[in-house]
Amino acid sequence: MQIFLDTAILDEVKKGAETGLVDGCTTNPTLAAKAGRNYNDVLKEICSIVKGPVSAETVSLDADGMVKEGIAFSKIAKNIVIKVPMTVEGMKACQRLTKQGIKVNVTLIFSANQALLAAKSGAFFVSPFVGRLDDIGKIGMDVVREIKQVYGNYKFKTQILVASVRNPIHVLDAAKIGADIATMPYSVFEQLFMHTLTDAGIKKFLEDWEKVPKKR
Ligand code: G3P
């Protein structure tokens, strides 16, 4: 499974990239606001650090506006992917951008039917928001499982990008289901490395190493 960082904070992108384990990056207007810098500048810098796909989100509500924004974003770097929302206008924009060879990530997906429409519209990525479904008492991962089944039935090439990931269990569940990608906050990425037994093991090995006779 590929790992993307869901952030527009450059320090996090740099630290993530240095591990050699980050395959791409996703951003949205909320994350751009948190970064507090010009969105285009941030995207350009992320694309210079991360060689894999970097998602940039449009904010227009009509297809014409989304296509215009998408074309402008796509000029920033070759690895930019355009995020459009799961709406009728979003699907029109997805089809138009895809026809122009621009990759699209359909975002704000909360059902397998929505994912079906996105795939039929030629989406490169579809982003089910698991955490937000959990927030309203639904099981977000059930939707991911359903999308996986539907896409398998029809051999859709659209990749399932699990989003709104809040914890390592979301990452594990996404991997168990066979999702293509999980995008996560840097804090969740860091948690994936950690285990108290690993820390305790290192401590014990270092203590025991001190007891090993050393040559003078
Ligand atoms: O990838 C989408 C993500 O940024 C939304 O996450 O935690 O705001 O639901 P969250």
For position 122, which CATH number holds? Answer: 3.20.20.70
Q: How do residues 109-141 score in pLDDT, each as one tens digit?
A: 999 999 999 999 999 999 999 999 999 999 999
pTM above 0.85, yes or no: yes
Average confidence (pLDDT) over 5-30: 97
Residue 216 lies in a domain: no
Pocket of ligand 1 contains residue 7 by CB under 6 Å: no
What is the Å distance from ligand 1's center to 144 Cα?
A: 15
126, β-bridge pairs: 106, 160
| Ligand 1 centroid from CA 208, angstroms | 44
* Segments forming the whole domain that contains residue 9: 2-211
Q: What is the CA radius of gyration of the chain?
A: 20
Catalytic residue among 14, 83, 103, 204: 83
**Which residue puts its alpha carbon closest to atom 9 of ligand 1?**
164
Structurally, the chain folds into a number of domains equal to 1
CA angle 159, 192, 133 (to 5 degrees): 50
The pLDDT value recorded for residue 56 is 98
CA 50 to centroid of chain Cα atoms: 13
Residue 155 is among the residues annotated as catalytic for this protein: no
* Sequence-distant (≥ 6) Cβ neighbours of residue 141 within 8 angstroms: 130, 170, 173, 174, 177
Verify whether ligand 1 is closer than 6 Å to residue 164 (CB atom): yes
pLDDT confidence tier of residue 216, bands split at 50, 70 and 90: confident
Q: What separation in Å is there between the alpha carbon of 205 and the centre of ligand 1?
A: 39
> Is residue 80 over pLDDT 90?
yes
Q: Phi-psi region for residue 86, left (φ > 0), alpha (ψ -120 to 50) or beta?
A: beta
Residues shown for the chain: 216
Residues 6+ apart with CB under 8 A from 10: 35, 42, 45, 46, 49
Q: Determine if ligand 1 sits within 6 Å of the CB of residue 134.
A: no
